[in-house]
Amino acid sequence: MPETAIRSRKEFGKTIAADITHRLREEIVTCGLPPGEPLRFDVLRERFGASFTTLREALTALTAEGLVDAQEQRGFRVAPVSHQDLVEVTDARVLIEVELIRRSIEKGDDDWEIAVISTLHRLKRIEQRDPEHPLRDPEWKIAHRQFHQALVSACGSATLLSIRAELFDRAERYRHLSANFRPRPRDKAGEHQAIMQAAISRNADQAVQLIETHIRTTADNVAKYAGHLLDAE
Amino acid sequence: MPETAIRSRKEFGKTIAADITHRLREEIVTCGLPPGEPLRFDVLRERFGASFTTLREALTALTAEGLVDAQEQRGFRVAPVSHQDLVEVTDARVLIEVELIRRSIEKGDDDWEIAVISTLHRLKRIEQRDPEHPLRDPEWKIAHRQFHQALVSACGSATLLSIRAELFDRAERYRHLSANFRPRPRDKAGEHQAIMQAAISRNADQAVQLIETHIRTTADNVAKYAGHLLDAE
DNA sequence: TCGGACCATATTTTCGAAAATACTAGCTAT
DNA sequence: ATAGCTAGTATTTTCGAAAATATGGTCCGA
């Protein structure tokens, strides 16, 4: 069986469609495909090397995640950004993340504590190595995501975790949007450390308060430095 | 242009795929396609008269909504039910619905009040007409859905409304599951009336409390009367 | 008897062509 | 001039065939 040529595309799933979904999500979240960009099939076909139908399946999945906007009979485009959407995503994240942190702190066992501590440790290592532009570093992004994921992982609800993941991606897109205009990232390392400590010491109220501030501050910075990109056009 | 033959399928959207998605969702929510049922393409092809790819697109969309379960390379099946899933859906609904009711009560204007009152009125009319098995009556289902939708419609967050809608469908499936085993529906009419009054009089705390009880009681009844169908197989 | 390899069949997944629909530009009539 | 129509082009949407993969049964050797 010819192996590499075909398999090389399937890094993130057994099917090509799942793989394309993953790659497209990545491109959209990092604004490699900018908000509002029309997603024409010939272009995507060229770029991803898949057929109409496979691409369509991926776009349908991403539409449900709020990253793509389907206009019936008139194709797809990258979901536009707006001030309103940023506010909605931020509020929804706070609502859900706060609840999940509480539950995780209540239910988290030893493995949960270990996961929180070790993902933060990795994050800090990466930040030490290259403290410049975190969002530019794919490794930092993954470590950052995994730390926040670990914090809520013991909540016990796959349903809410999946909603949370969706909102996280939508928020991350806004972070990328503002990354190029932000003068210097604030001290996230300290915030993460504080959150971890509150969580491990089972201080739910403090953890919740820190997380809410963390999320809202990030969103405020997006509005501040990328505000001119929102609601444009 | 030949009109009826083709258009007759497209009741709920411009594209066939959107239409099939809608019809499949309906079948799954009402348990016409029972939980866990394998969704084979030849069968669906026969039943819905669409091609592989179109069906695949619909199934992908429903997978994202939590109504279909995709097993890569091994096809799709109706999402299974379980006690755990019921609990998760119920908890998530309470979390979100409570928040949206608060926001709607805070922001709702005259149009919102009118929508709440008139959708409840319609619901009661239908209940008077045929007070027997509400869930069997498609009109009651629609009216019921629209009343609850109206209650939260002024919350101001399309993002949260769409998450709410998804969870509502998943919960409705459980209601249908237990409908055949439930001796007699409890007095929902009274509950709806009370919720409406609390909402209109802007008594947020009471509305929230009533809604939470409403949701949890419904879920408890499902567990009570359809418990034997959960976690089976 | 049992486990594993192999083949035949059933099913899903992917593809590119064909049909349907939207868009654009140029024309006509008012 | 301009609104409305029409034809031609661009793009999406749908289809069924073909490829890839899983499933189930049979045979073989231990």
A60 interface with B at CB cutoff 8 Å: yes
Rounded to whole angstroms, the Cα distance separating B64 from B61 reads 5
The single-letter DSSP state of residue B81 is P
Answer yes or no: do B92 and A13 touch at CB < 8 A: no
From chain B, the residues in CB contact with A11 under 8 A are none
Residue ranges of A 144-203 with Cβ closer than 8 A to chain B: 157-160, 162-163, 167
CB pair distance less than 8 Å for A60 and B60: yes
CATH number at residue B50: 1.10.10.10
Nearest CA to A28 out of A61, A71, A74 is that of A61
Residues of B in contact with A73 (CB under 8 A): 14-15
- Residue A110 is predicted with a pLDDT of 96
What residue ranges of chain B have pLDDT lower than 50? 1-9, 233
pLDDT tens, A43-60?
A: 999 999 999 999 999 999
Would you say A56 and B53 are in contact if contact means Cβ atoms under 8 Å apart? yes
A142 touches chain B (CB under 8 A): no
H-type helices in A130-203, by residue range?
A: 138-152, 158-179, 188-200
The predicted pLDDT at position B135 comes to 75
Spatial strand order of the sheet with A68-70 comes to A38-39, A76-78, A68-70
pLDDT (tens digit per residue) in B196-214: 999 999 999 999 999 999 9
- What radius of gyration, in Å, describes the C-alpha atoms of chain B? 19
| Residue where a domain terminates, one of A78, A105, A131 | A78
The parent domain of residue B169 ranges over: 83-229
A88:B18 CB<8 A: no
> Side-chain half-sphere of B136: how many Cα atoms within 13 Å?
10
One domain, residues B116 and B148: yes
Looking at the fold, whether B142 and B206 belong to one and the same domain comes out as: yes
Which ranges of chain A have pLDDT less than 50?
1-9, 233
- For residue A69, what is the enclosing H or E element? strand A68-70
Contact A160 B72 (CB under 8 A): no
Structural domain count, chain A: 2
The CATH number covering residue A167 comes to 1.20.120.530
Q: CA B103, CA A94: separation in Å to the nearest integer?
A: 15
Tokens of A104: 């995780």
Q: Which residues of B touch A157 (CB under 8 A)?
A: 88, 91-92
**Dist CA B77 CA A78 (whole Å):** 29
pLDDT at res. B131: 66
In this complex, is the C-beta atom of A122 within 8 Å of any C-beta atom belonging to chain B? no
Could you say which of B43, B78, B113 is where a domain stops?
B78
On whether both A52 and A133 belong to a single domain, the answer is no
Q: What is the pLDDT of residue B232?
A: 64
